[in-house]
Structure 1
Amino acid sequence: MVAYKLSAGTALLSLTVRSLAVPVVSEPTTTFTATPAFTPPVRPHSNVTDHGPYTGPPPTTTGAKTTDVLAPSIPALPPGPNAFDYPSDGELHAPLPAPYTPSGGVGTNGSAPVYRVLSDFDYESIALALYQEWIELDLFHWGLATFSEEEFEEAGLKAEDRYLLQFMAEQEVGHATLLSNMLGPSAPVQCSYNYPVTNVREYIDFSQKLTRYGEAGVYGFLNHLNAHDVGQMLLQSITTEARQQMIFRQFEGLFPMPEWFQVGIPQSWAWTLLAPYISSCPANQTRLVWQNFPALHILNQPNPARINGSNAWNETTGGYTNTLSTADIEEDEDCINSTEEGVNCSPGITNNRTNPLSYPGRQVFLQWDEPGFPVGPNNSYITSTSANPPVFAAWVSQLNVTYTPLEEIQNNTAWTVQPNMETFAGDPAVNGTIFLVLTDLDLYVTPYNLTQLNPHVYAVGMYQSG
């Protein structure tokens, strides 16, 4: 037995020596063949649909989809009776159902997943996400079809960048197909759209903001779905969208990820931000249940196209996203024209700007719309709020909701001060592209129950803090 071991070891050693002395290089070959596997078809779609504001007849159906309403709001309750039972001491407290498998978890009992929505909450949430995927598919293709190569080049985006944009559009075909399959035959279809941009840099900023609320809207409901298998599939698509959002920040010359955590928002906030850019949908389109809040306009929204981005006034293209406008920027104030490191904002892997777009203590001037405004597909949704007139600004970013008082409130205008806060030590909470909403109450909420704030929300907008 001992001799056998030695000979085996010797043979292994000799093989090892020979493999090190004579490396094998694999050459490409076409002599092997494989039968192609079945390829699932994608959802029928158009790369670019019709565009422009809605000019059709008044809608025959208006308002969010609804049925019997049991209460004006969902009451806040204490934690469940077993919320603190598990000792969390690093020990095992129940038999293992299988080797290397701790007790607990959801969907771990061996039941086959069906990838089908299980409740109204599931359906309406996934349908909202599908509306988002459809607009992204169109938006990414539309930019390539609308702006010339020269216009992209002037914004610092080369052929490789344009191909990346095209590939992101192709990703949306898969996302829309996946969500449609999980919803079934009544899944929403493509619509026509209207984008508040006139040049490539405005287009990139709008895309950066649109993917932001699309991503955040899914994070807000993902762990509330009844169908956890559906949530798993959605997770594997929304993480792709998170990468898209970061790429648009890089295209815009912004720092790619200036936060430690990504924010989640309620479905009604995401629908509020999305719906105004949908012009019309087919007559039999599946409608949504979510609320449309009035718009919040940031009058001195930081402008990433400026050398001093915080020194901006009325430099947006309007609308809920507060997209940057380049119309009033002089050539010597445009950061893309600078050659100075820390000032130039050309597209790149990363940019660390000398002049911050915003800062704690910055005075932020606000204006908001009244409810009752028609928005969305065919102007068939109506903005609404159940809140009293607003008295607080809620800064929603990362894991935090921080309130600051509104000052000098008059004729739907006011100002407030950007707060100084950190998520954890070393992580300024207000950074990146965040959400700013007006409320009538400084209600304590956390990422998992942020929807509890909806009855107190008056207006919704986006703030470009970094």
Structure 2
Amino acid sequence: MLFRTTLSAGFIAAAHALPQAISQISDGQVQVPTATPIQQISDGQIQNPAPTATPVAAATGNYSPLPYSYSQEPYVDSSAVSSAASVAGLPVSAIPGATNAVPPRVSSVVTGVTSHGPYSGTPTTTGAVSNSPAGTAIPALPPNPTALTYNPNGTLNDQQPIPYQPAGGLGTNGTEPVYRVQSDFDYQSILVGLYQEWIELDLFNHILATFSEEEFTEAGLTASDRYLIEFMAVQETGHATLLSNLLGGPGGATPQCTYNYPFTTVREAFDFTQKLTRFGESGVWGFQAHLDSREVAQLLDQSIATEARQQMIFRQFAGLFPMPVWFETGIPQSWAWTLLAPYISECPANSKRLAWQNFPGLNVLNQPNSARWNATQTPLNETVGWGGARPSNSDVPAEDSCVGRNITGEDCSAAISQNRTIPLSYPGREVFLEWENPGKPVGPNNSYITATMAGAPEFVLWVSQLNITYSPLTNISQNGEMWYGQTIQPDVSTYEGDPAINGTMFIALTDADLPFTAFNLSMVNPHVAAGPFLYQAG
């Protein structure tokens, strides 16, 4: 039976597979069916029963969307319609679309301060969802032979299906689009994306609710800038609605959680947010081309293009050059989840669990501090908080601060663009690192466990723009539960004139220096010993 989804005024009514009954426990974590025993492995992942001669079967049966806890019925906002007619000086009937019903959002506009802080309970469910994986790594294979046959010679090599349309493409044969996840890969990818959209919605509102108008003014921002943050928060309600619907509505989507943020000043908030939106955007670029549902990928791209603009805006608010790279990189889902999880403190009982890996934490001890006019003089431990997106400390000596410095090339006040005379980092810079052992509880309700399948780390992997590169990890030592080492910032270019190591980029520790590209970067995951961390290269 074919189940369709429809687009009505931008609303996606996605079909959903009816879930198997689950049991709940008081800490809000989703449990496997009570009739099925659970097997555990050392990293804390939840395992399905060991496979027998019968392979795991996909869920079967009819699919239909479940209702939200609020009315999903599209409605007409009569006050907004009247206002539009008044401004236009026309009767409502003369304005096309004015009386069309509009679908509601999953989340309404937030007002006031919401709950935040660390989780203090004890989880009873730990680890990523899993069902007895077939192996530990995806084997490297040669190119698909069909990928080498097309001749890009400037002519039409195959018969056109219709005038003005060349042969080829996916989803171009007239099949009706179905805006719905089509595989576990799709579901888990969009699910981690929804976790990201929810935190961004909360974060933008939290910044507005936490800091006073005077604090924004001291940071060089106006009422119009504050409204821009407010508008970006409203954008996130739309993104959360979109992804929730692509997941099938409340039966497949996950609700908003409680969060814990590492900043105490406006500038630290902007630095943290430009990093969080960086890995939110890059996390989608890393998987969208691999989605089984091309329809889902289409709509996802249209939302993440907005997030790219948000990331640039927060760089501008932080006094950074708005876009120092030619290409934005993509990262695997497990990298995005590793970076996101430490800032989620607690989730409701009906939250959906993720299958992605949480790697051990990595930190750059001499992270370039963008609050300094000469970031190359940043001392050790000048960040605040925790996690791979921890912001730089904004409380630097007045003579070292670039905020309000009013010297061309040394000022980092909020602006459309700031071009520094002294870059934040440079090739050949010594980078000092520390990282954790696996086995640490992180994420919602402390219910995920950091894990690695890699051997001892030997290299630092630099991921930026279209390329990856490695540098040796040297002077490795251990002090208690923490490990330490250092490396040299590479000097590589994407193309002539484009230094690859730039912007807000990603590093990780690996046990090998194997070659990977933008499209197959997730194959590095079995070799990641710690990380990723957001390195402030520029």
Query: What is the alpha-carbon distance in structure 2 between the residues aligned to residue 268 and residue 294 of structure 1?
Result: 11
In the superposition, the TM-score normalised over structure 1's length comes to 0.92
Equivalent residue number for residue 250 of structure 1? 316
User: 1:456 corresponds to which letter in structure 2?
Assistant: H
**Cα deviation per residue 1:318-357 (whole Å; 9 max; x = unaligned)?**
3221311123x11111101311111111111111001110
Which of 99, 118, 135 is 1:36 aligned to? 99
**Whole-Å separation in 1 of the counterparts to 2:139 and 2:387:** 32
C-alpha displacement of 1:130: 0.3
Q: Please give the alpha-carbon distance, in whole angstroms, between the structure 1 residues aligned to 2:470 and 2:92.
A: 64
Match of 1:439 in 2: 510
* 3-state SS in 2 of match to 1:333: coil
Structure-2 separation of matches of 1:283 and 1:217: 26
Question: Is the 1:301–1:310 Cα contact (8 Å) retained in structure 2?
Answer: no
Contact kept, 8 Å, 1:92 with 1:102, in 2: the verdict is yes
Instruction: State the Cα distance separating 1:28 from its structure 2 match.
Output: 5.3
Q: What one-letter code is carried by the residue in structure 1 that aligns with 2:516?
A: V
What do you get for the CA RMSD once the two structures are aligned?
A: 1.2
1:331 to 398, 404, 409: 398
Partner of 2:281: 215
Q: What is the count of residue pairs matched by the alignment?
A: 438
Q: Conserved in 2, the CA contact under 8 Å of 1:53 and 1:193?
A: yes
Question: Which of the numbers 191, 194, 214 marks the counterpart of 2:257?
Answer: 191
User: Would you identify which runs of 4 or more consecutive aligned residues in structure 1 move more than 4 Å?
Assistant: none
- SS state at 1:463 partner: strand
- SS of match in other structure, 1:337: coil
State the secondary structure of the residue aligned to 2:322. Answer: coil
Residue in structure 1 matching 2:427, options 350, 353, 360? 360
Q: Which residue of 1 aligns with 2:453?
A: 386
> Residue deviations 1:209-237, cap 9 Å, x none?
00000000000000000000000000000
Q: Does structure 1 residue 415 correspond to structure 2 residue 486?
A: yes
- Report the 3-state secondary structure (helix = DSSP H, G, I; strand = E; otherwise coil) of the residue aligned with 1:117: coil
Shift of the alpha carbon at 1:45?
5.0
Contact 1:301–1:322 (CA<8 Å) still a contact in 2?
A: no
Distance 1:112 1:369 in 2: 49
TM-score (norm 2): 0.80
Structure-1 separation of matches of 2:373 and 2:223: 26
- The letter of the residue matching 1:322 is R
Q: How does 1:90-169 map to 2 (within 5 A)?
A: 90-169=154-233
Separation in 2, partners of 1:451, 1:28: 52
User: What residue number does 1:59 align with?
Assistant: 123
Question: Which position in structure 1 is the counterpart of 2:145?
Answer: 81
Q: In the aligned structure 1, how far is the partner of 2:91 from the partner of 2:186?
A: 49
Partners of 2:346 and 2:426 in 1: CA distance: 39
Q: Are positions 1:284 and 2:350 aligned together?
A: yes
- Matched residue SS, 1:462: strand
The equivalent position to 1:178 in structure 2, one of 232, 239, 242, is: 242
Residue matched to 2:32: none
- The answer to whether the 8 A contact 2:254-2:350 is kept is no
Could you say what secondary structure the match of 1:325 adopts? coil
Bigger shift: 373-382 or 85-94?
Answer: 85-94
Partner Cα separation in structure 2 for residue 32 and residue 276 of structure 1? 50
User: In structure 1, what is the equivalent of residue 473 of structure 2?
Assistant: 406
d(CA) in 1 for partners of 2:114 and 2:404? Answer: 34
> Contact conserved, 2:262 with 2:390, CA < 8 A, in 1?
no
Q: Distance in 2 between matches of 1:93 and 1:326?
A: 59
* Structure 1 match to 2:534: 462
Aligned AA (1:352)? N
Q: Name the CA distance, whole Å, in 1 between partners of 2:109 and 2:353.
A: 21
Rg comparison, structure with higher value:
1
> What is the CA–CA distance in structure 1 between the aligned matches of 2:101 and 2:426, rounded to whole Å?
54
- Aligned residue for 1:335, secondary structure, equals coil
The question of whether the paired residues in 2 share the 8 Å contact of 1:49 and 1:193 is answered with no
Aligned partner of 1:294 among 353, 360, 377: 360
Distance 1:49-1:113 versus aligned 2 partners, 3 A rule: farther
Relative to 1, partners in 2 of residues 1:77 and 1:244: Cα closer, same or farther, differing over 3 Å? same
Give the structure 1 partner of residue 325 of structure 2: 259
Aligned match for 2:413, one of 346, 351, 358 = 346
For residues 85-108 of structure 1, give each alpha carbon's deviation from its aligned partner in whole angstroms, at most 9, with x where no partner exists. 001111111111111011000000
Q: In the alignment, residue 187 of structure 2 is paired with which amino acid?
A: Y
Q: Distance in 1 between matches of 2:168 and 2:535?
A: 41
Q: Is the 8 A contact 1:52 1:279 kept in 2?
A: yes
| 1:354-392 Cα shifts (integer Å, max 9, x gaps) | 111000000000000111000000000000000111010
Using the aligned pairs only, state the percent identity.
Answer: 59
**SS of the residue 1:447 aligns to:** coil
Shift of 1:147: 0.5
